Each structure stands twice: as structure tokens, then as C-alpha cells.
Amino acid sequence: MTAALEKLRKVALRLLQAVPTVFGILVVCFLLTRALPGDPAAYFAGDMADAESIEEVRRTMGLDQSLPMQFVSYLKDLAQGNLGMAISTGQPVTAELANRLPASLELTLGALVLSFLIAVPLGVLAATRPNTWIDHLCRFLVTAGVSLPTFFTGLALMYVFYYLLDWAPAPMGRLDLMFLPPEPITGFLTIDAIIAGDWEVLRAALAQLALPTITLALFTLAPIARMTRAAMLQAIASEFVRTARAAGLSGRRVLVTYAFRNALLPVVTTLGMVFSFVLGANVLVEKVFAWPGIGSFAVEALVVSDYAAVQGFVLSMALLFVALNLLIDVIYTLIDPRVGEEA
């Protein structure tokens, strides 16, 4: 079996392993929703509804059926993309998540790109220059990123750059009220502004995106830089790197081709884990900067006990995490030089 076929076999195995995980997520989301306190039918019927009206709502929602039949109906609705109606907004949960997910993705991806561009070179330099000022700087940033809460960092940046220096715009969402958003194509304001050729809106969108992106980047930078530094130190001390140096290869080639390529594997895994965590946990940053993402939507739904919206958020985030981790596993399999060596 060739190395390419071995990699394809492992990718197919990863895809098959994701099936029971997805089914387990569906079961857990269904059971957790049914285990919530209170009567959903009474809540949807309203405070002034009588017993007959509540029973009618219960039949309409299918809550008078057995749990297995409710689960089958739940799967049918999911197959049709129906996650119910959001009480807080009066819109379908699917539409709300579709409208708000690009805002969260734009913020999260921007923070990850910024932190990756800083953390990886910083971790490599810290590993190749131990106990120097750049190594101490890496350790300081890692400690600060882990220790400082994101809401504190966001408020501090807002106080300095908006209130004191007046360099940043008011934290009022994705775009200042003075600008009209471009026609939604991708849902990403920056990309849609580029497609429309509206450079004023692009500058305004980037200005609004700057502070929340930096806030999240300081948080996500810490694990990426720490893993890069540790993986590079381990790779540099390995036998294959010493062998490559003994063979007379240049230090740059040894560092890039041998050490960095092997150190990149755990860094990619860490990047996927950080993205999975930050996408659902950036709610504090979204609330501080009034960012209309899925995190703030979930908090608003919890406040008003909007069960359909909460269930849709939990389910979509769980499925997104599974898909992302599956993608990371596939990428890991494709870039791992050890896969297929035994073939």
C-alpha cells in the first residue's frame, strides 16, 4: 500500500468515527432540552392561557407523544433545517444563527490569524534563543494571555484607545451608524465591502473589528505560542535534527525543513482546539463591544428562557466543533510525515 493510499484510509476512518459522535450530540441535545425545568407548552401559550389552550400548544409542539416519537420528529425537523422559532426575536432559529454566525466567525478568525502570525514566529524565536529577551517576552505574553480575563482586556483597551486617545470608534457593533452595510454576500462585512469596492465601509468595518480582535488575539496567543515553543524545543533536541546537522545541512534548512515541520503538528492541533473554544466562549467580548454574534444571541435567549434558541445554539456549536476537530484530524493526517512510512 502506498503512502497516499494509507493517508486516504486514515482520512476515511476519521470520517466514520465522527458518525457516532454526531448521533450522540443529537441525543444529548434532545434529552437536555426535555430535562429543562418548567412546561414549554405553558411558556409558549402565555401567562393568560387556560388549560385547554396549553394542551393545544402541547399537541402542536408534539409534546404529547412518547420520547422516542418526539426524537424521530426532532430528527425530521433537523433534516429540514428547522430548529424552531426564537421567542426573543420572533424569527426562525436557523435564520438567526445564519445571520449571526458570520459576525462571530469574522471576529474569531481575525483573532486567530493575528495571534497565529505573532505566536508562531515568537515561539520559534523563543525556542531557538532560550533565556534571551525574546524568550522572556514570550513567557510574559503567555502568562498575561492566560491570566487576564477577556472582558478586562477589552474594557482596558476600550478605555485607553477609545476614551483616552480617541483612536478607536465607539464600540457599537460591526459598523458605525454613519455607514450603510454592503449587500450581504458572504456575511463577512470586510469581504463584502471588498467585493462591492466600498473602501470607506471597509475601513470603518476594520476599525470596529480592531479592538475586539486584539482582545481575543491576546487570549488565543498564549496557548499557540506556548505550544510552538515547547514543540520546537522538543524537535530541536531530537535525534533526527542532530543527524541532519551532523550531515552538514545548513542551520536554516534544518530549522525549517526538519524541526519546524515536525513541531507544526501539535501546533495545528492546538489551533483547532483554540478555535473551537473561542468561537463559543467569546460571548464576553461580544457583550463588551456590542458585537451581534451567536454568543450574545445565546445569552439573550437564556435570559428570556428561549429554549428553542438555546437548543439551536448548543447543537450548532457542538456540530461545528465536531466538524472542526474532524478537519484538524484530516489535516494532521495529511501533513504528518510519519503516516505511510510503514507502507
In a domain, 36, yes or no: no
In a domain, 181, yes or no: yes
In a domain, 290, yes or no: yes
Q: What is the DSSP letter of 174?
A: S
Q: 122 or 17, which is more confident? A: 122
In a domain, 306, yes or no: yes
- The CA distance from 112 to 122, in Å, is 15
Buried b (16+ CB within 10 A) or exposed e, 318-341: bbbbbeebbebbbbbbeebeebbe
What is the per-residue pLDDT for 336?
Answer: 62
Q: What is the model's pTM? A: 0.79
E-strand ranges in the chain read: none
Average pLDDT, the chain: 81
Q: Give the model's confidence band at 43: pLDDT under 50 very low, under 70 low, under 90 confident, else very high.
A: low
In a domain, 20, yes or no: no
Cα of 127 vs its chain's centroid, Å: 28
What CATH number is given to the structural domain containing 202?
A: 1.10.3720.10
Question: Domain residues for 122?
Answer: 94-335
In a domain, 330, yes or no: yes
In a domain, 302, yes or no: yes
Q: Give the three-state DSSP class for 199.
A: helix
Q: Give the model's confidence band at 338: pLDDT under 50 very low, under 70 low, under 90 confident, else very high.
A: low
In a domain, 69, yes or no: no
Could you count the other beta carbons within 10 Å of the beta carbon of residue 299? 15
Rg of the chain in Å (alpha carbons): 24
Structural domains counted in the chain? 1
The string of pLDDT tens digits covering residues 221-264 is 889 999 999 888 888 888 877 887 777 777 777 787 778 877 88
Across residues 129-156, what is the average pLDDT? 87
What is the per-residue pLDDT for 38?
Answer: 62
What is the per-residue pLDDT for 203?
Answer: 92
Reply yes or no on whether the pLDDT at 341 is more than 60.
no
Q: 257 or 172, which is more confident? A: 172
Contact 314, 195 (CB under 8 A): no
